Amino acid sequence: MVSDLRGFSPLAERLGPQPVCRLIRDMLARLSNRIVENKGLIVDYAGDGILAMWNAPVAQEGHAVLACRAALAMLEEMPGLEADWKDVVCAPLALGIGLNTGVAQVGNTGSTRKFKYGPHGHTVNLASRVQTLSKHLRTPLLVTSATRSRLPAEVPARRLGRAHLTGIASPVELHELRATETAEGWPADRDAYETALTMFEAGRFPEAHQVLSLLLETRRTRDGDIPMKLLFERVSNYLNNPPPAFDPAFDWGANWSAVPIPPPCRKNDIAI
């Protein structure tokens, strides 16, 4: 599992070293507690990010479920953190998490000067790439199909499709994970998206376009659903300009900007 605080660099520049250090210390403490409660091992901190793993150094039953529970619990911590720091940060605090399951080399690595214990290999790199993509898709929690396949079928999730990720040779199947299905209209939106996605992947562009057009017309409040908007754009482009060779995998993020930088506080609004 790889996590990242959205917009950390401009936030650190705006607040200065002392307040941002206090913020990150508070955040890491809260998030780390949720990881440990779900039997995870905190491998490393990198600025505002956390690298954690399960199923090592000892085997764990249901390690993918534990990791997802930890990730969802971490996201549940963010509103409280934001409320406690609103007078300092003056902007939303959002977390992005990427999860992947696979084989990794785990042990002590480094040099004669310094070494540390942790995982290495393609599985770890892929989790990092998935976390980065969650930023472009405005999706708090993304998991690979390798993780999703180890979760109960009833877990609230949406298949987003296959994607080309930087430095990864083969397209990766991705899923959005949610804590509940209580959000108004989300189950219906998910089903419609997955239906349109299946049609798109089969090259049935007119049918996919019809499903998405109806959905976007009746669900105008879903403007924040970036995966749906990107799928609709791609289907529309293929209808107008049929590709000579169809690749259903998305190149998400290639021309998509990161989360907008929140407006700064006025200087006299910052309470340190």
How much is the average pLDDT of 105-133? Answer: 94
Better pLDDT: 36 or 266: 36
Confidence of residue 166 (pLDDT cuts 50, 70, 90): confident
The winner for highest mean pLDDT among 29-43, 102-116, 156-170, 242-256 is 29-43
Is it the case that residue 128 has pLDDT exceeding 80?
yes
* Percentage above 70 pLDDT, the chain: 89
* Percentage above 90 pLDDT, the chain: 73
Domain with CATH 3.30.70.1230 in the chain: 1-179
- pLDDT per residue as tens digits for the range 22-42: 999 999 999 999 999 999 999
Better pLDDT: 267 or 247: 247
CATH architecture under which domain 1-179 falls:
2-Layer Sandwich (3.30)
Find out whether 110 and 116 touch, Cβ atoms under 8 Å: yes
Confidence of residue 181 (pLDDT cuts 50, 70, 90): low
Query: Cβ atoms within 10 A of the Cβ of 211, count?
Result: 20
pTM, rounded to two decimals? 0.88
